[in-house]
Amino acid sequence: MSGAGRPPLAECAAVTRTFGSLAAVSAVDLQVGPGEVVGLLGANGAGKTTLIRLLLGLLRPSAGRVSLFGAPPSRPSRRRLGYLPQGLGLYRDLTAAENRQFAEAVFGAGDRAAPEPARYATTPVGRLPLGIQRRAAFSQVMAHHPELLILDEPTSGVDPLGRSRLWEMIADAASRGAGVLVTTHYMEEARECQRLVIMSGGRVVAEGSAAGIIGSARVTVVEASRWADAFAALEGAGLPVALAGRSLRVPGASPARVRRVLGDIAAAVSDAPATLEERFFELAATT
């Protein structure tokens, strides 16, 4: 189900938020439509958390407009969304069931969540394994069938199988018409999103599908028998070099520049299509 042709569930229009002389968010446009999964990417300090707080109505914009369901954020509109913060939003001294009871008092009774394994039934959330904590938090967020999900690093620290299951739940919610805004540092997860918004320095520096953002971007590839020497030379020159097998990949630097940095180190220097992670790094480094 696509949000095309329908009003956005969440929207930022030319939104800016300053703290003194610091512009944490600067002239950002963002929309999340029904049935759409939008990935919000950026390094630490890029402005993602501030933007989320603006969408939730926890901060007021210094300029621009924020709306949820076509109106400014308010207590009634927040009841129509599900928010999962990085800190999970659970009371650590209560069990998962007790946390759900509290949520039902706020949002009303929803779906009955799958029970935790019996050995965890009386265990306070703060003592549960992280994967179980995140599953409990996600189930609680989904219980009242929110029309909009805002998920801040929902799979951080979760094993690959647990991450896959959480993404299945995200895809299922979108298929039923919910809009989803999700932040992640996992580039393979970013490919699960229909649209990506990349922030750097408080601004949106790229937007579109993963393939569209990569576009024609290239990365320089170095093949050297003395690869450790080549790595040291490139790193010493301040270039963002990464080891892939026994090859070195250098995003954001031309083959000619890399060849100059390598000097008399024998190496084959070529270029290849960039990955999403390499393109993200290049975009994040431009501001």
Question: What is the per-residue pLDDT across 36-46, written as a single tens digit (0 to 9) for each?
Answer: 999 999 888 88
- The predicted pLDDT at position 44 comes to 84
Amino acid at 3: G
Using alpha carbons, list the distances in angstroms from residue 158 to 42, 139, 209, 278.
Answer: 20, 15, 25, 23
Helix (H) or strand (E) holding 250: strand 247-251
Checking phi first, is residue 17 left (phi over 0); if not, alpha (psi -120 to 50) or beta?
A: beta
φ, ψ (nearest 5 deg) of residue 37? -110, 115
- The predicted pLDDT at position 158 comes to 76
Question: What is the per-residue pLDDT across 23-73, written as a single tens digit (0 to 9) for each?
Answer: 999 999 999 999 999 999 988 888 999 999 999 999 999 999 999 999 999
Using alpha carbons, list the distances in angstroms from residue 228 to 170, 253, 263.
Answer: 42, 19, 14
- The predicted pLDDT at position 25 comes to 94
- The predicted pLDDT at position 109 comes to 56
Question: What is the per-residue pLDDT across 95-138, written as a single tens digit (0 to 9) for each?
Answer: 777 777 777 766 665 555 555 556 667 678 777 777 777 777 88
| 161, two tokens | 């199988």
Question: What is the per-residue pLDDT across 188-216, written as a single tens digit (0 to 9) for each?
Answer: 888 889 999 999 999 999 999 999 999 99
Contact predicate 52/17, CB 8 Å: no
Question: What is the per-residue pLDDT across 127-166, written as a single tens digit (0 to 9) for each?
Answer: 777 777 777 788 777 777 889 999 988 887 777 887 888 8
| Euclidean distance between CA atoms 199 and 17, whole angstroms | 14
- Average pLDDT score, the chain: 86
| Euclidean distance between CA atoms 117 and 5, whole angstroms | 43
What letters, b where the CB count within 10 A reaches 16 and e where it falls short, cover 165-184? bbbebbeebbeebbbbbbbb
- The predicted pLDDT at position 5 comes to 59
| Residues above pLDDT 70, as percent of the chain | 91
| Euclidean distance between CA atoms 175 and 171, whole angstroms | 6
Instruction: Collapse the DSSP code of 247 into the 3-class scheme (helix H, G, I; strand E, B; otherwise coil) and give the result.
Output: strand
Q: Is the pLDDT of residue 2 over 50?
A: no
| Domains, the chain | 10-213 (3.40.50.300), 216-284 (3.30.70)
Instruction: Collapse the DSSP code of 219 into the 3-class scheme (helix H, G, I; strand E, B; otherwise coil) and give the result.
Output: strand
Q: Which residue has 């600067």 as its token pair?
A: 26
Contact predicate 29/207, CB 8 Å: no
> Among the residues of 47-108, which ranges form H helices?
48-55, 75-78, 96-107
Contact predicate 14/64, CB 8 Å: yes
DSSP 11-57: EEEEEEEEETTEEEEEEEEEEE-TT-EEEEE--TTSSHHHHHHHHTT
| Euclidean distance between CA atoms 57 and 69, whole angstroms | 13
